[in-house]
Chain A
Amino acid sequence: MKTTLKQRLVIGSLAVMGFVPLIVMTIKNAQGDSALSKLKVADPPVGSQDSPPPPKEKIDYSPYPRQTFPNRVYFGDTHLHTAYSADAGMIGNTLGPEEAYRFARGEKVISSKGLPAQLGRPLDFLVVSDHAENLGLAPALAEGNPELLKTEWGKMQYDLVKQGNPASKGKAFDNWGAGLMALKDPLKEQTGLAADMWKREIAAAEKYNEPGRFTAFIAFEWTSGPLGANLHRNIIFRDGGDKPGQIIPISTYDTEDPEKLWQWMADYETKTGGRALAIPHGGNLSNGLMFDDVTLTSKKPFDRDYADRRMRWEPLYEVTQMKGDAETHPMLSTRDEFANFERWDRGSFGPQPKTPDMLPKEYARETLKRGLAYEAKLGVNPFKFGLIGGTDSHTSLATAEENNFFGKVVGVEPSANPLRFNEVISGRPGPDKAKMYARETSASGLAAVWSRGNTREALWDAMARKEVYATTGTRLVVRVFSGYDFTAKDLERSDFAEYCYQSGVPMGGDLKDAPAGKAPSFLIRAMRDADGANLDRIQIVKGWLDASGKTQEQVYDVSWSGNRKPGKDGKLPAVGNTVNVKEATYSNSIGAPYLTAYWKDPAFDPKLRAFYYVRVLEIPTPRWTTYDAKVFGVKLPTDVPSSIQDRAYTSPIWYTPGK
């Protein structure tokens, strides 16, 4: 090859004059100047459910402009990682936030492993929640970011990654992990890098956020994990880029204590006038710390102030995701035949084994029950959270469908490679029996939000008021209201939603001080995923604090498909199973596309605190491992079920007695 002297000199002069950083800065400015504000907002801002209903009028055409209640479910993922998360980018994820948004919006994207990937139906919104801990480390290494290379550690990592062999790349990843475990930020002084990477994340969200069409939230994950116990939280901003642009995300290097996180969030709101909420997740991998009965650092029992703060900042809990279901555990809900679902209960990310005493402090249902006891004691319930779902995918691809599942990490993207089933996902430092394997990963979950419009503000407000539910990947739709004056006939009302908002409360709401002789009654409508499996049944899960101060729970079947009759033991026969395991097919010849229920609590005591949430079960469909076995011609693993009943969990409605 010939290269001229001129060419060499040109390149040389570019490098000598520090040209590269100059360009990077120019781009940043160009992206920061977003023209999105010119876009029209398609939907009116959502009204609070507490605002007075529109005046009753005679039948008129197109009453919508005057209605303010949420009229539609928007589906999205509140938990997705891209190459900007060190534990994704350092192990093969090359797709950044832009690709993540493109994929969520329904476009075809080439995965990090080179596979074409596309969702059957686009999502309505996406939360890119990259780990704050050394945000953007992998892209910074890939581009030889000058800020990163200013540090010895950055240079060492850079050299390892540049060597390009699996061993050196693995070593670079381990170096990062060791710093995280030791809580030593290797780039502590290098705030320029963190600020730059955070600005890029914001710029990507601003670019893809299109009010009315697709919502891209600005967010990050705070990855607290004392001794490997999962205390992670996703922090989601309601705001446009100008406000989060004034801060740099807090990380677990700064603090492992959620109370400090809440203080940081309070400071953010004071400083910027913005709004933020946190969604904790993975309690089942927290070894009893997620919903412990004492504070994390001082190990003090909760007081009213703690309860207030916790609920101020953490209105929701992520009850299902790829690393298992966190609704309840068979040892906690011994009479619940559907409790044993996609269970991940062998430990944490650390070496400490799981013991049964940890379980009550890890699962949502038990914690909601314990919250009632706290409320009786403190006057405030520290665990009054709604339920939502997310994927926690680390592939930049938000997939939660059984037949379109790209796995937890890039290394287990779809293929016939045995690693797809056998890779160890958690419990590495522990004994073999504490390990969880890729085949046990759940193709889950989704966040479903009742809203009147698809905007950051409208969706965030719905999350803050808990008018949301979780699904394990299906897009089934469920709506529940509770009040004291509902009757079975109201199920047939043509103005169902409008009437129910006037006369009752939706999921996430509160009932107080029942009038004499009245009990809460519930109106539920549920329909299957428009392009999915039929429904098996609707259930109400009730938890309460009995007169002796003990927590109790009961699951009621309140509506089901077909002519099934409960047996003498009160148990409803199973819906059946049409799954052909060999062919990975099922049929909607069983179940119902649409179910409704009216239910009045038969055991209501107005003096006792209680909560009620709805669980909707689909008929059995092939699990993702079954689809894999068929498509790739591999052996079906024997330690996971071949079919599962995907489901939805609504946020609870709480009953609180008067003084």
Chain B
Amino acid sequence: MKRFLNEPLLHFLLIGAGLFLVYSLISKPGADAPGSIVVTSGQVERLATTFTKTWQRPPTEAEMKGLIDEWVREEIATREAIALGLDRDDSVIRRRLRQKLEFVAADLAAQTEPTDADLNAYLQAHPEKFREELRYTFEQIYLDPTKHGANLTKDATALLAKLKQSGEKVDPKTLGDPFLLENQFSDASGSDIGTQFGQSFATKFAQLTSGEWQGAIESGYGLHLIFIRERTPGKLPSLADVRAIVRREWSDARRVDAKIRFYDELLKRYTVTIEPPKPTMPPKTVAMKGAETP
């Protein structure tokens, strides 16, 4: 029911019906009768404004009369043409009408303001979009392959043994080779590590445990010994912390979805019959059902 209340189509029909109701109430009786045309003061004003914008001056009285006459002719022509069904097989008009309808639907979809419950549901259904990553505070010691040559692995193993002996007391800055990346990282996420050390390094890094020197693990630059001091577990933030972002993702998903849902809903009210090419066969009736939306 909740979801139903959020349907753009429902809004569309309700607003349309509402306007229709208001329109019939404020219109003079008989205004809708086939033979009557009312040029409202608002319409007159719009005609004058458009003229002024184009010509940089207000229309004269004669010009104003001409504008109104022209509008009335247009109105009559439109009604007669529709009555004759001239709009029905004109592809330009059909395309334009369809576009107008779709824009109204899309606008309504975008306009719908989600409730916290909607957003919370979206947050829970798409945790991967909003999850705060696991963060590491760690130290690294770099070994430069050009400096160690063939002894690289051996030197790394020896250094690791030494580090394990001296435990936490050692200052990583005094060991290993100079490098462009820092020795200490605080609160770096897995993707931060991937961006700076390379993706394959980040994958290997994720396997390490905390509280002791480990490695060496390889990056595109050489070997690294790692001491993870602290892991801040990742978590799904509460809606209050990420409301703006959840709202953005919710609306984007909705925008993509809107057109599909719109036609799915409308389609339920139609029976579409596709006639086979050979007239000898009896027409086959297919109830088209729109794609289920998540």
**Residue pair B23, A495 in contact (C-beta under 8 Å):** no
Q: Known pairs A525-B179, A530-B199. 20 more at Cβ < 8 A?
A: A11-B16, A11-B101, A14-B16, A16-B23, A19-B19, A20-B100, A23-B107, A27-B107, A36-B244, A38-B244, A71-B182, A98-B252, A143-B103, A492-B178, A494-B178, A497-B182, A527-B221, A531-B220, A594-B144, A594-B179
- Of B103, B173, B222, the contact of A594 (CB 8 Å cutoff): B222
- Is B124 on the interface with A (CB-CB < 8 A)? no
Q: Mark B85-102, 1 if CB is under 8 A from A, else 0.
A: 000000010011101110
Q: How large is the interface on A (under 10, 10 to 19, 20 to 34, 35 or more residues)?
A: 35 or more
Whether the Cβ atoms of B111 and A27 lie closer than 8 Å is yes
> Is B153's beta carbon under 8 Å from chain A?
no
A491→B178 contact, CB < 8 A: yes
Decide: A20 near B103, CB < 8 A? Known: A35-B247, A593-B221. yes
List 10 A-B residue pairs with CB atoms under 8 Å apart, sorted by A's residue number: A10-B16, A11-B101, A19-B15, A20-B107, A102-B252, A144-B103, A162-B95, A208-B248, A594-B179, A594-B222
Q: Quick one: which of B96, B99, B180 contacts A479, CB cutoff 8 A? A: B180
5 nearest A-B residue pairs (beta carbon): A10-B16, A494-B173, A530-B198, A35-B244, A23-B107
Picked from B104, B145, B182, B247, the residue with its CB within 8 Å of the CB of A14 is B104
Contacts of A10 in B (CB 8 A): 13, 16-17, 19-20
Q: Is the CB of A13 within 8 A of B104?
A: no
Shortest distance between the CB of A527 and any CB in chain B (Å): 5
Contacts of A143 in B (CB 8 A): 103
The 8 A CB mask of B108-138 against A (1 = contact, 0 = none) is 1011010000000000000000000000010
A2 within 8 A of B: yes
Give the docked Cα–Cα distance between A497 and B180 (Å): 9
Q: Does A57 contact B (CB under 8 A)?
A: no
Question: Which residues on B sit within 8 Å (CB–CB) of A497?
Answer: 182
Cβ contact within 8 Å between A495 and B16: no
Is the CB–CB distance between A495 and B173 below 8 Å? yes
B195 on the interface (CB 8 Å rule)?
A: yes
Contact A594:B146 (CB < 8 A) given known A26-B111, A150-B53, A526-B180:
yes
Q: Is A493 at the interface (CB under 8 A from chain B)?
A: yes
Q: Which of B246-273 contact A (CB under 8 A)?
A: 247-248, 252, 270
A210 at the interface (CB under 8 A from B): yes
Which residues of chain B from 170 to 200 have a CB within 8 Å of any chain A CB?
171, 173-174, 178-184, 186, 194-199
In whole angstroms, what is the CA distance A530 to B221 when docked? 8
Interface positions of B (Cβ within 8 A of A): 13, 15-17, 19-20, 23, 50, 53-54, 92, 95-97, 99-101, 103-104, 107-108, 110-111, 113, 137, 144-146, 171, 173-174, 178-184, 186, 194-199, 201, 219-222, 241-245, 247-248, 252, 270
Q: What CA separation (Å) do A64 and B187 show in the bound complex?
A: 11
Q: Is A530 touching B178 in the complex (CB atoms < 8 A)?
A: no
Q: Encode A102-122 as 1/0 by CB contact (under 8 A) with B.
A: 100000000000000000010
Closest to B273 in A: A1
Alpha-carbon distance between A151 and B184 when the two chains are bound, in angstroms:
61
By a CB distance below 8 angstroms, the chain A residues around B178 are 491-494, 496, 525, 596
Nearest CB to that of A527 among chain B residues? B180
Binary contact readout A375-391 vs B (1 if CB under 8 angstroms, 0 otherwise): 00000000000000000
Residues of A within 8 A of B17 (CB): 10
Q: Which of B19, B100, B180, B183 contacts A17 (CB 8 A)?
A: B19
- In the complex, the answer to whether A207 meets B221 with C-beta atoms within 8 Å is no
Q: Could you tell me the distance between the alpha carbons of A27 and B15 in the complex, rounded to whole angstroms?
A: 16
Residue of A nearest to B97 (CB): A11
Question: Which B residues touch A152, using CB under 8 A?
Answer: 54
A73 CB to closest chain B CB, in angstroms?
Answer: 9
A305 to B178, CA, bound (A): 46
B183–A494 touching, CB < 8 Å: yes
Assembly CA distance A23 to B100 (angstroms): 13
Q: Are A530 and B19 in contact (CB under 8 A)?
A: no
Q: How far is the CA of A492 from the CA of B171 in the complex (A)?
A: 15
| A207→B248 contact, CB < 8 A | yes
Interface residues of A in 38-73 (CB under 8 A from B): 38-40, 59, 62, 64, 71-72
Given A479-B180, A527-B221, answer yes or no on A13-B19 (Cβ-Cβ < 8 Å). Answer: yes
Contact B146 A30 (CB under 8 A): no
* B53 / chain A contacts, CB cutoff of 8 Å: 150-151, 189
Interchain CB contact under 8 A, A39 and B244: yes
From B221, which residue of chain A is reached at the shortest CB distance?
A593
Whole-angstrom distance between the Cβ of A401 and the nearest chain B Cβ: 15
8 Å CB interface, A230-262 against B: none
Q: How far is the CB of B199 from chain A (nearest CB, A)?
A: 6
Q: Contacts A14-B19, A210-B245, A479-B180: A30 and B113 contacting too (C-beta < 8 A)?
A: yes
Q: How far is the CA of A193 from the CA of B241 in the complex (A)?
A: 35
| Inter-subunit contact A13/B198 (CB<8 Å) | no
Question: Are B195 and A530 neighbours in the complex by a CB distance under 8 Å?
Answer: yes
Q: Which of A421-464 contact B (CB under 8 A)?
A: none
State whether A23 touches B13 (Cβ < 8 A): no
* Complex Cα–Cα for A334 and B219 (A): 39
By beta carbon, the residue of chain B nearest A71 is: B182
Q: Which residue of B lies closest to A1 (CB)?
A: B270
A121, B195: Cβ atoms under 8 Å? yes
User: A585 contacts the other chain (Cβ, under 8 Å)?
Assistant: no
Looking at the assembled complex, report how far the CB atom of A544 sits from the nearest CB atom of chain B, in whole angstroms.
Answer: 29
Q: Which residue of A lies closest to B192 (CB)?
A: A72
Interface membership of A24, Cβ < 8 A:
yes
Return B268 CB to nearest CB of chain A, in Å. Answer: 14
Contacts of B111 on A, CB cut-off 8 Å?
A: 23, 26-27, 30
Interface check A417, CB cutoff 8 A? no
| B179 / chain A contacts, CB cutoff of 8 Å | 525, 527, 594
Residues of A within 8 A of B198 (CB): 530-531
When the two chains form their complex, are residues B199 and A531 in contact, meaning their CB atoms are under 8 A apart? Answer: yes
Report if A135 contacts B (CB, 8 A).
no
Q: Which residues of A (521-565) have their CB < 8 Å from a CB of B?
A: 525-528, 530-531
Q: Are A62's CB and B220's CB within 8 A?
A: no
B245 / chain A contacts, CB cutoff of 8 Å: 39, 210
A1 to B269 alpha-carbon distance, docked (Å): 11
Cα of A525 to Cα of B245 in the assembled complex, Å: 38
| Residue in A6, A19, A98 whose beta carbon sits within 8 Å of that of B104 in the complex | A19
Q: Nearest residue in A to B14 (C-beta to C-beta)?
A: A10
Q: Please tell me which one of the listed residues B13, B15, B197 contacts residue A530 in the complex, with CB atoms under 8 A apart.
A: B197
Instruction: Identify A592's interface contact among B50, B100, B146, B186, CB under 8 A.
Output: B146
Taking the complex as formed, is A572 at the interface, i.e. its CB lies under 8 A from any CB of chain B?
Answer: no
> Which residues of the partner chain A approach B197 to less than 8 Å between Cβ atoms?
530
CA distance A35 to B137 in the complex (A): 30
| In the assembled complex, A9 has its CB within 8 A of some CB on chain B | yes
**Knowing A98-B252, A152-B54, A594-B222 touch, does A62 contact B184 (C-beta < 8 A)?**
yes
CB distance from A400 to the nearest CB of B (A): 16
Q: Which of B95, B96, B108, B245 has the most CB of A within 10 A?
A: B245
Bound CA–CA A27/B104 (angstroms) = 12
> What separation, in Å, do the CA atoms of A59 and B219 have in the docked complex?
27
CB of A156 within 8 Å of the partner chain: no
Flag whether A15 is at the interface (Cβ < 8 A): yes
Q: How far, in angstroms, from A497 to B104 measured CA to CA in the complex?
A: 57
Given A35-B243, A39-B244, A71-B182, check contact A17 B107 (CB 8 Å): no
> Shortest CB–CB separation between residue A216 and chain B, in angstroms?
12
Query: Does residue A34 face the partner (Cβ distance < 8 Å to B)?
Result: yes
* Residue from A27, A71, A531 within 8 A of B110 (CB atoms): A27
